[in-house]
Chain A
Amino acid sequence: MEKNKKAADKVKEQPITYEVYAEMPDDGNRYEVIDGVLELMSPSPTASHQSILSELIDALRQSCKTDYLIYFAPLDVILSDTNVVQPDAIMIHRSRKHIVTSRGIEGPPDLAVEVLSPSSQKRDRLKKRAVYEKHGVPEYWIVDPDSRTLEQFQLDERGNYVLIQLYEGDELIASDKLHCVSFAISRLFADVLQ
Protein backbone atom coordinates (compact mmCIF):
# COMPACT_ATOMS: atom_id res chain seq x y z
CA MET A 1 0.00 0.00 0.00
CA GLU A 2 2.67 2.41 1.14
CA LYS A 3 4.84 1.37 -1.76
CA ASN A 4 2.05 1.90 -4.29
CA LYS A 5 1.37 5.33 -2.98
CA LYS A 6 5.00 6.29 -3.39
CA ALA A 7 5.02 5.04 -6.96
CA ALA A 8 1.88 7.05 -7.69
CA ASP A 9 3.45 10.16 -6.21
CA LYS A 10 6.51 9.70 -8.37
CA VAL A 11 4.40 9.59 -11.51
CA LYS A 12 2.72 12.80 -10.41
CA GLU A 13 6.00 14.58 -9.78
CA GLN A 14 7.97 13.88 -12.90
CA PRO A 15 7.14 15.96 -15.93
CA ILE A 16 5.07 13.85 -18.31
CA THR A 17 6.46 14.02 -21.84
CA TYR A 18 4.89 13.15 -25.16
CA GLU A 19 6.75 9.81 -25.11
CA VAL A 20 5.26 8.83 -21.75
CA TYR A 21 1.80 9.96 -22.88
CA ALA A 22 2.01 8.13 -26.21
CA GLU A 23 2.94 4.89 -24.50
CA MET A 24 0.17 4.95 -21.92
CA PRO A 25 -2.20 1.99 -22.09
CA ASP A 26 -5.56 3.00 -23.59
CA ASP A 27 -8.05 3.13 -20.73
CA GLY A 28 -10.82 4.69 -22.81
CA ASN A 29 -10.26 8.17 -21.38
CA ARG A 30 -8.83 11.20 -23.16
CA TYR A 31 -5.88 13.01 -21.63
CA GLU A 32 -3.88 16.12 -22.31
CA VAL A 33 -0.41 17.07 -21.08
CA ILE A 34 -0.27 20.65 -19.84
CA ASP A 35 3.13 21.90 -18.67
CA GLY A 36 4.24 18.33 -17.97
CA VAL A 37 1.14 17.39 -15.98
CA LEU A 38 -1.24 14.72 -17.22
CA GLU A 39 -4.82 15.97 -17.18
CA LEU A 40 -7.90 13.84 -17.63
CA MET A 41 -10.31 15.45 -20.06
CA SER A 42 -13.87 15.97 -18.92
CA PRO A 43 -16.42 13.23 -19.35
CA SER A 44 -17.80 12.88 -22.88
CA PRO A 45 -19.03 16.22 -24.24
CA THR A 46 -22.75 17.00 -24.28
CA ALA A 47 -25.00 16.98 -27.35
CA SER A 48 -25.01 20.79 -27.30
CA HIS A 49 -21.22 20.88 -27.31
CA GLN A 50 -21.03 18.52 -30.27
CA SER A 51 -23.78 20.31 -32.16
CA ILE A 52 -21.96 23.64 -31.80
CA LEU A 53 -18.68 22.06 -32.83
CA SER A 54 -20.09 20.44 -35.97
CA GLU A 55 -21.77 23.70 -37.04
CA LEU A 56 -18.45 25.47 -36.49
CA ILE A 57 -16.58 22.94 -38.61
CA ASP A 58 -19.24 23.31 -41.35
CA ALA A 59 -18.96 27.07 -41.27
CA LEU A 60 -15.16 27.00 -41.45
CA ARG A 61 -15.13 24.39 -44.22
CA GLN A 62 -17.56 26.40 -46.30
CA SER A 63 -15.34 29.46 -46.62
CA CYS A 64 -11.84 28.36 -45.57
CA LYS A 65 -11.31 24.91 -47.02
CA THR A 66 -9.28 26.06 -50.01
CA ASP A 67 -6.78 27.91 -47.82
CA TYR A 68 -6.74 25.88 -44.62
CA LEU A 69 -6.67 22.35 -43.28
CA ILE A 70 -9.48 22.04 -40.74
CA TYR A 71 -9.50 19.44 -38.00
CA PHE A 72 -11.52 18.67 -34.90
CA ALA A 73 -10.86 16.73 -31.65
CA PRO A 74 -9.67 14.19 -30.77
CA LEU A 75 -6.33 14.97 -32.38
CA ASP A 76 -3.02 15.54 -30.60
CA VAL A 77 -1.51 18.97 -31.03
CA ILE A 78 2.07 18.58 -29.86
CA LEU A 79 3.22 22.09 -28.99
CA SER A 80 6.26 20.91 -27.06
CA ASP A 81 7.48 17.76 -25.38
CA THR A 82 5.47 18.62 -22.26
CA ASN A 83 2.46 20.32 -23.84
CA VAL A 84 0.19 18.02 -25.79
CA VAL A 85 -3.38 19.26 -26.14
CA GLN A 86 -6.55 18.42 -28.04
CA PRO A 87 -8.32 21.62 -29.09
CA ASP A 88 -11.94 21.20 -30.17
CA ALA A 89 -11.12 22.66 -33.60
CA ILE A 90 -8.00 23.92 -35.37
CA MET A 91 -7.08 25.46 -38.70
CA ILE A 92 -3.67 25.17 -40.34
CA HIS A 93 -2.80 27.19 -43.42
CA ARG A 94 -2.01 24.88 -46.32
CA SER A 95 1.41 26.52 -46.69
CA ARG A 96 2.24 25.04 -43.28
CA LYS A 97 0.90 21.57 -43.88
CA HIS A 98 4.32 20.10 -43.00
CA ILE A 99 3.35 20.35 -39.30
CA VAL A 100 0.77 17.62 -39.89
CA THR A 101 2.55 14.32 -39.14
CA SER A 102 1.68 10.75 -38.31
CA ARG A 103 1.70 11.65 -34.60
CA GLY A 104 -0.73 14.55 -34.95
CA ILE A 105 0.02 18.24 -35.34
CA GLU A 106 3.58 19.17 -34.42
CA GLY A 107 3.59 22.91 -33.89
CA PRO A 108 1.15 25.76 -33.42
CA PRO A 109 -1.95 25.77 -35.63
CA ASP A 110 -3.07 29.12 -37.06
CA LEU A 111 -6.30 28.95 -35.09
CA ALA A 112 -7.39 26.98 -32.02
CA VAL A 113 -11.01 26.87 -30.86
CA GLU A 114 -12.44 25.58 -27.59
CA VAL A 115 -16.16 25.15 -26.95
CA LEU A 116 -16.66 25.48 -23.19
CA SER A 117 -18.22 22.78 -21.03
CA PRO A 118 -19.11 23.36 -17.40
CA SER A 119 -16.13 21.25 -16.35
CA SER A 120 -13.63 22.85 -18.72
CA GLN A 121 -14.04 26.54 -17.84
CA LYS A 122 -10.80 26.82 -15.96
CA ARG A 123 -8.81 24.65 -18.33
CA ASP A 124 -9.99 26.45 -21.47
CA ARG A 125 -10.04 29.99 -20.15
CA LEU A 126 -6.84 29.85 -18.13
CA LYS A 127 -4.52 26.89 -18.67
CA LYS A 128 -4.97 26.20 -22.36
CA ARG A 129 -5.08 29.87 -23.15
CA ALA A 130 -1.69 30.25 -21.46
CA VAL A 131 -0.34 27.25 -23.37
CA TYR A 132 -1.57 28.55 -26.75
CA GLU A 133 -0.18 31.98 -25.92
CA LYS A 134 3.21 30.60 -24.90
CA HIS A 135 3.51 28.48 -28.03
CA GLY A 136 2.51 31.24 -30.42
CA VAL A 137 -0.93 30.15 -31.66
CA PRO A 138 -1.81 33.48 -33.37
CA GLU A 139 -5.56 33.28 -32.81
CA TYR A 140 -7.71 31.58 -30.15
CA TRP A 141 -11.49 31.45 -29.97
CA ILE A 142 -13.57 30.52 -26.95
CA VAL A 143 -17.20 29.64 -27.68
CA ASP A 144 -19.42 29.93 -24.60
CA PRO A 145 -22.65 27.94 -25.00
CA ASP A 146 -24.21 29.54 -21.89
CA SER A 147 -23.95 33.12 -23.06
CA ARG A 148 -23.91 32.19 -26.77
CA THR A 149 -20.84 34.26 -27.43
CA LEU A 150 -17.51 33.84 -29.17
CA GLU A 151 -14.45 35.51 -27.68
CA GLN A 152 -11.67 36.21 -30.16
CA PHE A 153 -8.11 36.48 -28.84
CA GLN A 154 -5.10 37.46 -30.92
CA LEU A 155 -1.42 37.65 -30.00
CA ASP A 156 -0.17 41.22 -29.75
CA GLU A 157 3.38 42.34 -30.56
CA ARG A 158 4.49 41.39 -27.04
CA GLY A 159 3.19 37.86 -27.47
CA ASN A 160 0.22 38.34 -25.11
CA TYR A 161 -3.32 37.36 -25.98
CA VAL A 162 -5.63 40.33 -26.26
CA LEU A 163 -9.40 39.95 -26.43
CA ILE A 164 -10.02 41.86 -29.63
CA GLN A 165 -13.72 41.07 -30.08
CA LEU A 166 -16.68 39.41 -28.42
CA TYR A 167 -19.41 38.30 -30.82
CA GLU A 168 -23.04 37.87 -29.78
CA GLY A 169 -26.52 37.90 -31.30
CA ASP A 170 -26.30 37.80 -35.10
CA GLU A 171 -22.89 39.38 -35.44
CA LEU A 172 -20.57 38.26 -38.24
CA ILE A 173 -17.28 36.71 -37.22
CA ALA A 174 -14.28 38.03 -39.11
CA SER A 175 -10.54 37.98 -38.64
CA ASP A 176 -7.79 40.11 -40.09
CA LYS A 177 -5.46 37.12 -39.76
CA LEU A 178 -7.84 34.50 -41.18
CA HIS A 179 -9.40 36.36 -44.09
CA CYS A 180 -11.66 33.55 -45.23
CA VAL A 181 -13.62 33.45 -41.97
CA SER A 182 -17.16 34.77 -42.37
CA PHE A 183 -20.21 33.41 -40.57
CA ALA A 184 -22.83 34.59 -38.10
CA ILE A 185 -22.27 33.52 -34.50
CA SER A 186 -25.98 32.58 -34.22
CA ARG A 187 -25.38 29.81 -36.73
CA LEU A 188 -23.41 27.82 -34.17
CA PHE A 189 -26.43 27.50 -31.88
CA ALA A 190 -29.01 26.66 -34.56
CA ASP A 191 -29.38 23.04 -33.45
CA VAL A 192 -28.87 23.42 -29.72
CA LEU A 193 -32.00 21.88 -28.25
CA GLN A 194 -31.92 23.39 -24.77
Chain B
Amino acid sequence: MKKKTYEELVKESPVTYEMYANMEDDGNRYEISDGVLELMSPSPLFIHQFICHKMQVMLDGSCRNDFLILAAPLDVILSDTEVRQPDLVMIHLSRTHIISKRGINGAPDLVVEITSEHSLKRDKLTKRNVYAKYGVREYWIVDPSNFTLEQYELHDDYYELLDVYSGEEPVRSHTAPCVSFSMDELVRSIPVPPDQLK
Protein backbone atom coordinates (compact mmCIF):
# COMPACT_ATOMS: atom_id res chain seq x y z
CA MET B 1 0.00 0.00 0.00
CA LYS B 2 1.25 3.44 -0.88
CA LYS B 3 2.34 5.49 2.12
CA LYS B 4 0.20 8.52 2.82
CA THR B 5 1.61 12.03 2.65
CA TYR B 6 1.08 14.84 5.13
CA GLU B 7 -1.43 16.47 2.76
CA GLU B 8 -3.48 13.31 2.72
CA LEU B 9 -3.24 12.51 6.41
CA VAL B 10 -3.97 15.99 7.68
CA LYS B 11 -7.49 15.70 6.26
CA GLU B 12 -8.24 12.52 8.17
CA SER B 13 -9.66 12.45 11.64
CA PRO B 14 -8.77 10.99 13.99
CA VAL B 15 -5.16 10.32 13.02
CA THR B 16 -3.86 7.34 15.01
CA TYR B 17 -0.34 6.24 15.87
CA GLU B 18 -0.57 3.54 13.19
CA MET B 19 -1.37 6.06 10.44
CA TYR B 20 1.36 8.40 11.67
CA ALA B 21 3.96 5.62 11.85
CA ASN B 22 3.19 4.58 8.27
CA MET B 23 3.17 7.99 6.64
CA GLU B 24 5.65 9.02 3.98
CA ASP B 25 8.85 10.48 5.44
CA ASP B 26 9.05 14.02 4.07
CA GLY B 27 11.85 15.12 6.40
CA ASN B 28 9.51 17.01 8.72
CA ARG B 29 8.62 16.17 12.28
CA TYR B 30 5.01 15.76 13.34
CA GLU B 31 3.04 15.19 16.50
CA ILE B 32 -0.50 13.93 16.95
CA SER B 33 -2.50 16.31 19.06
CA ASP B 34 -5.85 14.84 20.12
CA GLY B 35 -6.16 12.97 16.84
CA VAL B 36 -4.93 15.83 14.65
CA LEU B 37 -1.61 15.69 12.80
CA GLU B 38 0.50 18.75 13.61
CA LEU B 39 3.63 19.91 11.84
CA MET B 40 6.34 20.83 14.30
CA SER B 41 8.06 24.22 14.04
CA PRO B 42 10.95 24.74 11.64
CA SER B 43 14.34 23.50 12.84
CA PRO B 44 15.11 24.83 16.33
CA LEU B 45 17.56 27.66 16.97
CA PHE B 46 21.12 27.12 18.14
CA ILE B 47 20.29 28.17 21.70
CA HIS B 48 17.42 25.70 21.85
CA GLN B 49 19.63 22.81 20.78
CA PHE B 50 22.47 23.90 23.01
CA ILE B 51 20.28 24.06 26.13
CA CYS B 52 18.71 20.73 25.29
CA HIS B 53 22.10 19.07 24.89
CA LYS B 54 23.62 20.70 27.96
CA MET B 55 20.65 19.87 30.18
CA GLN B 56 20.79 16.27 29.05
CA VAL B 57 24.50 16.13 29.94
CA MET B 58 23.92 17.76 33.35
CA LEU B 59 20.90 15.60 34.18
CA ASP B 60 22.74 12.51 33.07
CA GLY B 61 25.68 13.49 35.26
CA SER B 62 23.66 13.68 38.46
CA CYS B 63 20.73 11.33 37.75
CA ARG B 64 22.06 8.46 35.68
CA ASN B 65 21.88 6.00 38.57
CA ASP B 66 18.14 6.59 38.89
CA PHE B 67 16.85 7.81 35.56
CA LEU B 68 17.12 7.37 31.85
CA ILE B 69 17.39 10.77 30.16
CA LEU B 70 16.44 10.97 26.48
CA ALA B 71 16.27 13.83 24.00
CA ALA B 72 13.99 14.55 21.00
CA PRO B 73 13.20 13.34 18.42
CA LEU B 74 11.60 10.40 20.17
CA ASP B 75 7.92 9.44 20.10
CA VAL B 76 6.13 9.54 23.43
CA ILE B 77 2.94 7.63 22.72
CA LEU B 78 0.49 8.75 25.38
CA SER B 79 -2.49 7.23 23.60
CA ASP B 80 -3.38 6.09 20.13
CA THR B 81 -4.30 9.65 19.19
CA GLU B 82 -1.82 11.59 21.36
CA VAL B 83 1.80 11.26 20.25
CA ARG B 84 4.33 13.87 21.36
CA GLN B 85 8.04 14.54 20.98
CA PRO B 86 9.18 16.38 24.11
CA ASP B 87 12.63 17.99 24.08
CA LEU B 88 13.77 15.90 27.06
CA VAL B 89 12.21 13.10 29.06
CA MET B 90 13.29 11.41 32.27
CA ILE B 91 12.16 7.87 32.97
CA HIS B 92 12.86 6.23 36.31
CA LEU B 93 14.86 3.02 35.96
CA SER B 94 12.06 1.13 37.75
CA ARG B 95 9.71 2.04 34.86
CA THR B 96 11.78 1.11 31.83
CA HIS B 97 8.99 -1.31 30.80
CA ILE B 98 7.33 1.67 29.08
CA ILE B 99 10.18 1.69 26.55
CA SER B 100 9.44 -0.13 23.31
CA LYS B 101 10.80 -0.33 19.79
CA ARG B 102 8.51 2.55 18.78
CA GLY B 103 9.51 4.90 21.58
CA ILE B 104 7.94 5.51 24.97
CA ASN B 105 4.53 3.92 25.57
CA GLY B 106 3.11 5.99 28.40
CA ALA B 107 3.92 8.92 30.63
CA PRO B 108 7.58 9.69 31.41
CA ASP B 109 8.25 10.75 35.02
CA LEU B 110 9.44 14.18 33.95
CA VAL B 111 9.12 16.09 30.68
CA VAL B 112 11.06 19.19 29.61
CA GLU B 113 10.07 21.56 26.81
CA ILE B 114 12.41 24.33 25.72
CA THR B 115 10.28 27.06 24.21
CA SER B 116 10.89 28.71 20.88
CA GLU B 117 9.06 31.60 19.30
CA HIS B 118 6.76 29.26 17.39
CA SER B 119 6.05 26.85 20.20
CA LEU B 120 5.02 29.05 23.13
CA LYS B 121 1.33 28.38 22.80
CA ARG B 122 1.90 24.68 22.24
CA ASP B 123 4.30 24.30 25.18
CA LYS B 124 2.51 26.45 27.72
CA LEU B 125 -1.10 25.69 26.86
CA THR B 126 -1.72 22.55 24.83
CA LYS B 127 1.13 20.32 25.90
CA ARG B 128 0.78 21.32 29.53
CA ASN B 129 -2.82 20.13 29.51
CA VAL B 130 -1.87 16.96 27.67
CA TYR B 131 0.98 16.03 30.02
CA ALA B 132 -1.29 16.64 33.03
CA LYS B 133 -4.08 14.57 31.52
CA TYR B 134 -1.79 11.60 30.88
CA GLY B 135 -0.14 11.72 34.31
CA VAL B 136 3.35 13.12 33.72
CA ARG B 137 4.36 13.85 37.33
CA GLU B 138 6.54 16.85 36.62
CA TYR B 139 6.79 19.29 33.70
CA TRP B 140 9.46 21.91 33.13
CA ILE B 141 9.19 24.79 30.68
CA VAL B 142 12.56 26.35 29.94
CA ASP B 143 12.49 29.79 28.32
CA PRO B 144 15.74 30.61 26.49
CA SER B 145 14.70 34.26 26.00
CA ASN B 146 15.25 34.98 29.70
CA PHE B 147 16.74 31.75 31.05
CA THR B 148 13.97 30.82 33.43
CA LEU B 149 12.61 27.39 34.28
CA GLU B 150 8.97 26.97 35.29
CA GLN B 151 8.39 23.84 37.34
CA TYR B 152 4.95 22.24 37.40
CA GLU B 153 4.04 19.35 39.65
CA LEU B 154 1.01 17.14 39.16
CA HIS B 155 -1.65 17.21 41.87
CA ASP B 156 -4.45 14.84 40.86
CA ASP B 157 -5.09 16.05 37.32
CA TYR B 158 -3.88 19.59 37.84
CA TYR B 159 -0.41 21.09 37.40
CA GLU B 160 0.62 23.32 40.24
CA LEU B 161 3.32 25.88 39.45
CA LEU B 162 5.81 24.96 42.14
CA ASP B 163 8.68 27.30 41.38
CA VAL B 164 10.27 29.59 38.82
CA TYR B 165 14.05 29.28 38.74
CA SER B 166 16.59 31.74 37.43
CA GLY B 167 20.14 32.82 38.28
CA GLU B 168 22.16 30.77 40.74
CA GLU B 169 19.16 29.22 42.48
CA PRO B 170 19.55 25.42 42.35
CA VAL B 171 16.74 23.56 40.63
CA ARG B 172 15.24 20.97 43.01
CA SER B 173 12.73 18.28 42.16
CA HIS B 174 10.53 15.96 44.23
CA THR B 175 10.18 13.64 41.26
CA ALA B 176 13.94 13.48 40.68
CA PRO B 177 15.80 14.44 43.89
CA CYS B 178 19.08 13.80 42.04
CA VAL B 179 18.55 16.98 39.98
CA SER B 180 21.16 19.62 40.76
CA PHE B 181 21.97 22.52 38.44
CA SER B 182 21.16 26.23 38.08
CA MET B 183 20.11 28.32 35.12
CA ASP B 184 23.32 30.36 35.46
CA GLU B 185 25.33 27.17 34.99
CA LEU B 186 23.57 26.78 31.66
CA VAL B 187 24.16 30.42 30.72
CA ARG B 188 27.86 30.24 31.60
CA SER B 189 28.35 27.20 29.43
CA ILE B 190 27.18 28.94 26.23
CA PRO B 191 30.35 28.92 24.11
CA VAL B 192 29.76 32.15 22.14
CA PRO B 193 29.08 35.78 23.14
CA PRO B 194 25.32 36.43 23.59
CA ASP B 195 25.36 39.07 20.83
CA GLN B 196 26.31 36.41 18.32
CA LEU B 197 22.96 34.73 18.94
CA LYS B 198 20.78 37.78 18.33
Contacts and interface: CB of A to CB of B under 8 A. Distances in A.
B128 A163 contact: yes
B117 A121 contact: no
Contacts of B120: 147, 149, 166, 168
A151 interface: yes
Interface in B93-142: 115, 117, 120-121, 124-125, 128
Contact of A121 (B121, B128, B161, B166): B166
- At the interface, is chain A mostly helix, strand, loop or mixed? mixed
Number of contact residues on B: which range applies? 10 to 19
Given A126-B161, A147-B143, A163 B150 contact: no
Interface in A106-126: 118, 121-122, 125-126
B164 A126 contact: yes
Contacts of B143: 146-147
A126 B166 CA distance: 12
Contacts of B121: 166, 168
Contacts of A158: 158
Given A125-B161, A163-B125, A168-B120, A146 B145 contact: yes
Contacts of A118: 146
Contacts of A146: 143, 145-146
A160 to B, nearest CB: 6
A121 B148 contact: yes
B119 to A, nearest CB: 11
18 contacts: A118-B146, A121-B148, A122-B164, A125-B148, A126-B163, A126-B164, A129-B161, A146-B143, A147-B115, A147-B143, A147-B145, A151-B124, A158-B158, A160-B160, A163-B124, A166-B120, A168-B120, A168-B121
